[in-house]
Amino acid sequence: MTPRDDTALAQACATLARRLGLGETAPEVIGRFSNRALWLSPQPVVARVPTGTTAVRNANAFAARECALVQHLAQQGAPVIGPLDGERAGPHQEGGWTISLWQRARVLPAAPDPVESAGALAACHAALRAVPPPLQARFARWQPFDEVDRLLAHAAVQARLSTEDRALLAAQSAALRAQLEANTAPLQLIHGDAHLNNALHTAQGMRWHDWEDAFLGPVEWDLACVVSGARVLGSHAAWSEAVLAAYPAPWDAERLHLCIHARTLFTVAWMAVLSGDDAEKLARLQGRLRWLHEQPAA
């Protein structure tokens, strides 16, 4: 996105705020990831707007199910940052953007405590097991594998990754999916993207946020999200391994190993779309690719 896009998005958020009775606001970009996050200053409200993920996702459908899921989790007292109440959460259509509205938490500068992070993740998993069946039905089983297939057909991925790299990802994805689906362990709703950037140390305590990637899978996938960067690239190793060690519920080591592998190739496929010309992101992409090439054939 360009600065002009950010300006247009801020104007759309301000228009939406007026329409919803939030008054005059001065939207300010506070997050530039696969979603834009804008604080609707001076209101304690954050607008979240899908940008990069629209490459293979229906923005409205994903935002709607995320709002519904996190509203339910917040009502159950799970450690999450909830959307606004009722229909104000959205998603809303404004100026060509899909916008959902969330409570603004005061995020503290220190990383969240790993033991608290592990306990909070387990609490979320427990609350997710109690999600009503009609809401659960809006989430796919093993969604990351479906997305890898779509991403490998995307023009940006075909331009970024070599034919050899794409063939490797396709072969490994198919093999890992078969192994994981053959496992008889029960699946449940999980966060889907439980890494350090989505673990927030707030004035209200530790909170897990950004539930767009939620799907029906094993808790080992979320644990793989926690540790895969550490195991593959050495990123945030101390925090990640401490969270895994403190996770207060059973998990299977072999399933975790498979999920680390699958999470890594899923990340590579997405980074091929989202990295742009960012040198740091491209270096991490290449590091993960090298790791995948070093893995034994499944």
Q: What residue has token string 């709607």? A: 64
3-state secondary structure of 93: strand
**Which of 8-12, 30-34, 193-197 has the least mean pLDDT?**
30-34
The answer to whether the CB of 220 falls within 8 A of the CB of 244 is no
**Is residue 106's pLDDT more than 80?**
yes
For the stretch 139-162, pLDDT in tens is 999 999 999 999 999 999 999 999
CB contact set of 224 (below 8 Å; sequence gap of 6+): 256, 259, 260, 262, 263
Tell me which residue has tokens 């198919």: 174
Tell me the mean pLDDT in the region 114-126.
Answer: 98
Query: How much is the pTM?
Result: 0.95
Q: Which CATH architecture has domain 114-294?
A: Alpha-Beta Complex (3.90)
What are 88-98's pLDDT values in tens digits?
A: 999 999 999 99
* Fold: same for 3-103 and 114-294: no
The CATH number corresponding to 3-103 among 3.40.50.1820, 3.30.200.20, 3.40.50.300, 3.40.250.10 equals: 3.30.200.20
Domain boundaries, the chain: 3-103, 114-294
For residue 297, what pLDDT is reported? Answer: 65
Confidence band, pLDDT 50/70/90 cuts, at residue 195 = very high
The mean pLDDT value of the chain amounts to 95
- Is pLDDT of 262 > 90? yes
Q: How far from each other are the two terminal CA atoms of the chain, in whole angstroms?
A: 39
How confident is the model at residue 226, as a pLDDT? 98
Distances in whole angstroms, Cα of residue 278 to Cα of each of 8, 13, 209, 274: 23, 27, 25, 9
- Span 164-179, mean pLDDT? 97
CA–CA separation, 14 and 19 (whole Å): 9
Segment (H or E) for 282 = helix 279-294
Tokens representing residue 286 in the block: 């290449």
